[in-house]
Chain A
Amino acid sequence: MTRHVVVEPRGLASVKLRILVPVLSVLAALVVGGLFLAITGENPLDVYRKMADVAFGSANGVSNTLISATPLILTGVAAALAFKMLVWNIGGEGQLIMGAVFASGIAIWLGPAAPSWIAIPAVIVAGGVGGAVWASVAAIPRVYLKTNEIITTLMLNFIALSFMNFLVFGSSSPWRDSAVSTFPTGQPIPTNARLPTFFQRLDISIFIAFGLAIAAWWLVGKTRWGFAVQVVGDSPETAKYAGISVPNKILVVFLLSGAAAGFAGALYVAGPIGALEPRSLDLGLGFTGIIVAALAGLHLLAVIPIAILMGALNNSGPALQSIGVPTSTITMLQGAILIFAVGGEFFIRHRIRLPRKESTPQEIPDGVEVA
């Protein structure tokens, strides 16, 4: 009898394994990133220590990390919500931008006279509406004409970006700051519509993002509507058979996904940026949200810690330049984490063993699946 490696599907992965694998994936990515740093002549430990220090070492660092994490929580929720339903909305980027356009637009339109208790909710709602409207451009053809949403949402990202650039750089729209005549910038949002800060530069948008992530989790996991959505996400044929309106569910989830990305845009312009500022919004936050969702295993609450980790990486990037390490190291690390996490999925789904002649097959490990 020859010895051979047996790879077989695992019946059910334990909770322990489901947490251990992503943690090990991050560590493995750090090791690979460290090798790369060592080759370029840096001491990886020094670099990582510096990064940790920048991200979490001071009150200011923690505040900046959470500011970076806030939009990622929401774009992560946007991606996770859609992907759970097998809706491949990769237009978080464009929906975030349109959310920012709508939010800053309403703030400017309301003007400095409107009371904050009207202006702030209006800004947030407008952001959600903007994201949903932009998502609907792809969602309606997807549901009724079966167009491919991967292509439409991707293309709409570029249109949204160009539209924002046009508003600020290419026209004398209300979004452009008319007081600045040198290089065009966004019209500052009146202070009455800005989100109040409470800790360093950190404003209340972090709580709104937490709240929205929890609300999305509750909606999908705890409501009648969410149950129907889960059935559609698992098997559209079965959902149809059980009398669930599949097009309706897909449409609503698609729009909610767009709204989540739109909220991210609204909170970003009404929070840390304070204006529709293309250079501060064109950071790939929508795409990073897809990475966040993938790392979180599409779990709507797991999105929160993952977004904070990604936020920490983003936040520590610029600081690396001060010690002579290129910022792109961060992009590389994020990519490595994603690759290892996706690879780690294999170990969640499969078991590898080396049977001898007298094989002693293992029992299915006990435990429950994370919903």
Chain B
Amino acid sequence: MTTDAPTDAETDLAVELRNVDKAFYGVKANDNVNFRLARGEVHALLGENGAGKSTLCSILAGLYRPDAGEMFLNGAPTVFKSPKDALASGVGMIYQHFRLVPNLTVAENFALGHPSTGIRLDQKKLQEEAAELGDRYGLPIDPSARIWQLSVGEQQRVEILKLLYRNVDVLILDEPTAVLTPQESKQLFKTMRQMADEGRSVIFVSHKLREVKEVSDSVTVLRHGRNVGGVATADAEAEDLARMMVGRDLVLPARTDTTQPGSVVLAVTDLRVEGDRGLEVVSGVSFEVRAGEIVGIAGVSGNGQRELALGLNGLRTPTAGRVFITNFDVTKASVLAHIYAGMSYVPQNRLGVGLAPGLTTEENLALKAFRQPPYSRGRRLVPSAFRSEGARQIEQYDVRGVRPGLPIRLLSGGNLQKALIAREIEMGPKVLILHSPTRGLDVGATQTVRQLALAERARGVGVLLISEDLDELLALSDRLLVMYEGEIVGQMNTEDATAERLGLLMAGKRQGEQT
């Protein structure tokens, strides 16, 4: 296996990295990495979380400077001093956490930092250009919408178009499909191919083999910060890539047994919830979750899933409908009443909603239970209980990287999620809502999270799994519901479900309309 991606001639290389090292706090994120990107290709960067993909991309995008090694841009040695510097040289990156200003419109975000932006903004011209660009690349957007009003998928489109507006030659997309439906992903792949055909180079970061096989021309695989292979995609089998990526064979836990679900623990009838803009985004949703089953809700992000979860938790009072947790009507009840009724919730936004970033791991584990013994006696806290209970849960749920006094935000994504789920499970729920529980996690953490979800199901908890990852929904759920524009447009037992059938429903084709 060669370490170089195959290319026709040296001059066709858009970017080359030679022997790049980058370390953080003594941990080598990139260790002697070589990377060659040809002009006009889609180049997949494959690896688990923590394999050094994001670091490599950040070096390419000028965010980090390598400790050692060289970079060549169009054959000339180059050092990027900043992301701005990289952008000026035609290299742009779309991060997993988008870099958009929420209070500005789409068009204004385009103009932000653009070299041609002067003192005065020609809003009309800008909006026309933005819309035109969106149409050309098959990524329709409303240029006058404000970023905070957009779904994650829509925000990603804005990020891509923003770079195209800058006319960059090298686009780096860090796990772009994590937030998309299969159809949206397909559209994105089309856009990627179109960009490559125009002579641009696209770096596609992913850990989904199917997608890598589908869209890329060549692949570089990273493991533990080193490159373990660079091949033309056509020459590699998915199994080879998987083994290169994880260094072992890949097994993710899935639901195997079929238990008999118990009584109804969550009943929702005709629920209506408003979105941030004050418009109804959950429009009359009804369903039940029984003890000991996992009900999956599929759908493209931005179709009301977030507001549904908020409505079910009392974080946003529904405008109509009823929510029952076991026998308790909690429709208009406080968040605390939901918690006491047996509702646990793992939100999509882990840091900032699910966890208090500046508090310690022990404190975060006590975030809901601190009101009762052993964490507090009367009005007084019991610090020793925070320590002992914290230590037990950190051990039991295998949360790694915890140091005393350290704010939780310094933990990795997988460990944050393990801590968050630990706390929610320790509350002893009757209903557990998981929203995108494995988004952005590596294979190991994904495995742990799925096992925990299945264990809760076996314990008789009713689990509601809201996800955009169809593989996950199909692997874990007993039943599936599909949400589109605030409504449940289809439901089926998992045995009858396929990715294609779900994909059509997610795109708005109702069950009756299917042939």
Contacts and interface: CB of A to CB of B under 8 A. Distances in A.
A223 interface: yes
A235 B358 contact: yes
Nearest to B410: A11
Contacts of B336: 243-244
Contacts of A349: none
Interface in A1-35: 1-2, 4, 6, 11-12
A223 B380 contact: yes
B379 interface: yes
Nearest to B314: A243
Interface string B363-375: 1001110110000
Interface residues of A, number: 37
Dominant SS among interface residues on chain A: loop
A238 B405 contact: no
Interface residues of B, number: 45
A224 B380 contact: yes
A239 B355 CA distance: 9
A46 interface: no
Contacts of A41: none
A118 to B, nearest CB: 29
B25 A231 contact: no
A239 to B, nearest CB: 7
A367 B368 CA distance: 27
Contacts of B65: 4, 6
A363 B25 contact: yes
Contact of B359 (A226, A230, A355): A230
Interface string B298-333: 000000000000000101000000000000000000
A222 B410 contact: no
B26 A362 contact: yes
A222 to B, nearest CB: 6
Contacts of B376: 224, 227
Contacts of A12: 403, 405-406, 410
Contacts, number: 102
Contact of B335 (A226, A240, A358, A363): A240
Interface string B320-352: 000000000000001110110000010101001
Given A1-B68, A12-B406, A243 B356 contact: no
Contacts of B23: 359, 361
Contacts of B357: 234-235
B405 A224 contact: no
Contact of B381 (A227, A234, A238, A364): A227
B404 interface: yes
Contact of B370 (A11, A227, A235, A241): A227
B354 interface: yes
B67 interface: yes
A241 B347 contact: yes
Contacts of B24: 361
Nearest to A233: B358
A199 to B, nearest CB: 35
Interface in B43-67: 65, 67
Contacts of A235: 352-353, 355-358
A242 B375 CA distance: 15
A357 interface: yes
B79 interface: yes
A361 B366 CA distance: 34
A239 B336 CA distance: 11
B301 to A, nearest CB: 19
Contact of A234 (B79, B358, B371, B378): B358
A246 to B, nearest CB: 10
B68 A369 contact: no
B354 A238 contact: yes
A28 to B, nearest CB: 28
A234 B356 contact: yes
A362 B25 CA distance: 6
A113 interface: no
Given A1-B68, A224-B370, A241 B354 contact: yes
B407 interface: yes
Given A355-B67, A361-B26, A241 B353 contact: yes
Nearest to B376: A224
A238 B367 contact: yes
Contacts of B371: 224
A240 B315 contact: yes
Contact of A223 (B334, B356, B381): B381
B367 A359 contact: no
B25 A241 contact: no
A238 B355 contact: yes
Given A4-B65, A223-B381, A364-B25, A238 B339 contact: no
Contacts of A361: 23-26, 67
B406 A11 contact: yes
A282 interface: no
Contact of B405 (A222, A223, A230, A369): A369
A234 B358 CA distance: 6
Given A231-B367, A369-B407, A241 B315 contact: yes
Given A227-B370, A364-B25, A243 B335 contact: yes
Nearest to B66: A1
A225 B26 CA distance: 40
Interface string A338-371: 0000000000000000010111011110011100
Given A12-B405, A227-B370, A355-B67, A239 B25 contact: no
A53 interface: no
Contact of B404 (A227, A239, A368): A368
A35 to B, nearest CB: 35
A2 B66 CA distance: 11
A292 B101 CA distance: 35
Nearest to A363: B26
Interface in A175-195: none
Given A11-B410, A224-B370, A361-B23, A239 B381 contact: no
B149 to A, nearest CB: 18
Contacts of A242: 335, 339, 367-368
A209 to B, nearest CB: 24
Contacts of B405: 12, 367-369
Nearest to B407: A369
Contacts of B313: 241
Contacts of A358: 68
A102 B21 CA distance: 67
Nearest to A11: B410
Given A227-B381, A241-B354, 8 more contacts: A222-B381, A231-B356, A231-B359, A231-B363, A238-B354, A242-B367, A245-B334, A357-B68
7 contacts: A224-B371, A231-B356, A237-B352, A243-B336, A355-B67, A358-B68, A367-B405
